Each structure stands twice: as structure tokens, then as C-alpha cells.
Chains A and B, each alone.
Chain A
Amino acid sequence: MRLSYPTNIRIICLPCTGKVDLIHIMRAFEKGADGVYVAGCVEGTCQFNTGNIRARKRVEQAQKILEKIGIGGERVQMYNLSSSEAPRFVQIAEEMTEKIMALGPNPIKIAGKKKAA
């Protein structure tokens, strides 16, 4: 289909979203990511049965922590789609990019710049 999606998204490939751990999401923000989304298979279709369900729970854990520490829970999201849904992949990438653009940069980057200045 050769569809294009926002270029500011960096894709990290995993064998299954069940591989995503809470610490991976946290470290992404600690290193300055403005947002993170996990794109897993549709619930009920995981080849490993519960990988995407586990990922969703970890995303929810990350949302809670990020909200409490002032980074913003909305910056991390879970999406479910099939690997054959390229148009939906693009739609999600655009939706997430818009959301993060509206939220602005990761607050720790702003705090770091203020301190340096």
C-alpha cells in the first residue's frame, strides 16, 4: 500500500507485546520520549494467548505512575490492531502524534532546559 505515517515515530519491534515491561515504558520517558504507544494484536487473537492483555495492564500501570509524578498518564497508550490493517496503523500513528503534539514535550526535557539556562 506504501502508506506514509508521521516520521517522528520510532518503531521498536518485539516478538509480542507481552514482551513489553513497565520498565521499558518508564525508561523511554526517562530518556526523553514525549509519548509511547504499544501496538498489539486485537484482544483474543494473541498467538501466545495473553501477551496483549499483559501489555495493556502494563500500559495502565505506566499511566498511573506517570500521572502521579507529573509527566502525564495520557502520554502512554495501548492500541490493538491486526497486522493486516495498514490504514488503521497510519490512523493510530497520526492520532497519537496529534495527541502528543497537543500535550507538548516531555516535562522533564523542559525542566532540564530551564536548569541548563
Chain B
Amino acid sequence: MIVAKQKEIEEIIEEIKDYNKILIAGCNECVTVCEAGGKKEVAVLASALRMYFMNQGKDVKIDEVTLERQCDHEYLEEIRKMIDQYDVVLSLACGVGVQFLAEKYISTPIVPGVDTCFMGVTEERGVWSERCQACGQCILARTAGICPVSRCAKRLLNGPCGGSTKGKCEIDKELDCAWQLIIDRLKELGRLDDYEQLTPIKDWSTERAGGPRKVVREDVRQ
């Protein structure tokens, strides 16, 4: 899932303080799971903002809506009839949802309420960590299912480097060395011979370095 964390309320207030009719839009997908922008977070933020403005003596209308997804036309269409009632939409979706909202509703300012962090997993409730950088050319088959692109600080394809000590990375004593994990898992799989094979230079043009990306599938396109 896409992992995000809610912005500090001071920053949100700074962005919306000049508006009088505010719609807070949550998303039922990734940001709900990582507890940053789901229905519950929308309700709490709306309540906090209402109290803040009441305390300031300002009469501000703050409404709430949580869409199934903010990255699909059909769900964004659900707010078409109501969006003109608001001066601004505070979106608690990831950066994708915020942008798609902005693309669709050109005349309404859309501001983000979360910082989008990475694609990752829920290690335990309250702990999320990165697993994928969407490099566009998956090498997990060769690296025992552990991604050195997202989990090695240097993104080494033939590791580990000299900074690996007792299975930990030199940038953080708590951080596992991805290559140690790969070697351990190859050992478990009885495929340690694979480790001896050098990985050739990766084609990074499919990664973000090659510019904004797009997937087009003519077989399903309408």
C-alpha cells in the first residue's frame, strides 16, 4: 500500500485558514490502513479544525466525505454535485488522490492533509516500512524475494557493501542490511550458488529517473 502520515495540524491550519467553507475528503484505501486519511482521521481532523476556528471566533463550515478511492474517476465523480459549495478541499488521500482531484476540479483549490511517504507494509499496528520503489523492472526473483532497490541504502545490486556489520546497515543500527537478508534467505532456500552470479547493470530508464511513467494496455483499454 501507499504509506502516508498526517501533516501537523499547524501546517494544515496555515494552508486553509483563509477559507470559510472547507470539505475534508478522506480515502478508503491505503491511507485508511495506515491510519492517516481514512474516515476516522477525517472525523477527528474535522472536529479539531471546527474547534480551532470556533476558538478563533471564526464561522467556518467544515464538512466531511470519505471516498472509496481518490485515484479513480468514478469515485471522484461522487462529489461533483457538492464541490461547488466549498472554497477548498483538504484531501487526506496520498499525493496521487490530491492530484487527481485537482485535475478533475480545476476551479477548486485542493490542499494535501498528509505527507505521502512510500510503498510499504504494516509490520505491526503503528509501524510501516518501505518495500518497493516502483523501479519498473522487478528483480525479486533473483534476490530471494527481498528488494535491494528499496531496502539497501545504496540500492546495490551486488552487495553487501563494507558498511554491513552484524547484519545491520551502517546508516542505522536498527536497520537490517538488505543483502544480509538476501544471503540468509538464499541459504534457507538452498540457492546460495545464485549469490555468486553477478547481477548485470540495471536499466534505470524504467525508474523515475526516466521521467514520469505511464502504463497503457490496449487489450483492456476502452
> Per-residue CB proximity of A75-117 to B under 8 Å, as 1/0?
0000000000000000000000000000000011001101100
- Our pick among B9, B47, B54 for the contact of A68 (Cβ within 8 Å) is B9
- Our pick among B8, B10, B51 for the contact of A30 (Cβ within 8 Å) is B51
Q: Is A26 an interface residue (CB 8 A)?
A: yes
Shortest B154–chain A CB gap in Å is: 37
Pair B40/A112 contact, Cβ less than 8 Å: no
- Shortest Cβ distance from B56 into A: residue: A111
Interface residues of B in 46-99 (CB under 8 A from A): 47-52, 54-57, 59
The total of interchain contacts (Cβ-Cβ below 8 angstroms) comes to 46
Report chain B residues within 8 Å CB of A108: 51, 54-55
Report chain A residues within 8 Å CB of B59: 115
Pair B55/A70 contact, Cβ less than 8 Å: yes
- Our pick among B40, B49, B51 for the contact of A71 (Cβ within 8 Å) is B51
Report chain B residues within 8 Å CB of A70: 52, 55
Interface of A is mostly: helix
- Shortest Cβ distance from B9 into A: residue: A68
> Per-residue CB proximity of B1-43 to A under 8 Å, as 1/0?
0000000111000000000000000000000000000001001
Cα distance A95–B196 when bound, in Å? 69
Q: Is A42 an interface residue (CB 8 A)?
A: no
Pair A22/B44 contact, Cβ less than 8 Å: yes
Pair B55/A30 contact, Cβ less than 8 Å: no
Pair B9/A65 contact, Cβ less than 8 Å: yes
- Our pick among B8, B10, B44 for the contact of A26 (Cβ within 8 Å) is B44
Pair B57/A26 contact, Cβ less than 8 Å: no
From known contacts A21-B40, A27-B47, infer whether A111 and B9 are also in contact, taking CB-CB under 8 Å.
no
Q: Is A12 an interface residue (CB 8 A)?
A: no
- Shortest Cβ distance from B13 into A: residue: A69
- Our pick among B43, B55, B57 for the contact of A69 (Cβ within 8 Å) is B55
Can you list 17 A-B contacts (CB < 8 A)? A21-B40, A22-B40, A23-B40, A23-B44, A26-B43, A26-B48, A29-B51, A30-B51, A65-B9, A68-B8, A68-B10, A70-B52, A70-B55, A71-B51, A111-B54, A111-B55, A111-B57
Which residues of A approach B to under 8 Å, CB–CB?
Answer: 21-23, 26-27, 29-30, 65, 68-71, 107-108, 111-112, 114-115
6 closest Cβ contacts across the A-B interface? Answer: A26-B47, A69-B52, A108-B54, A23-B43, A70-B55, A111-B57
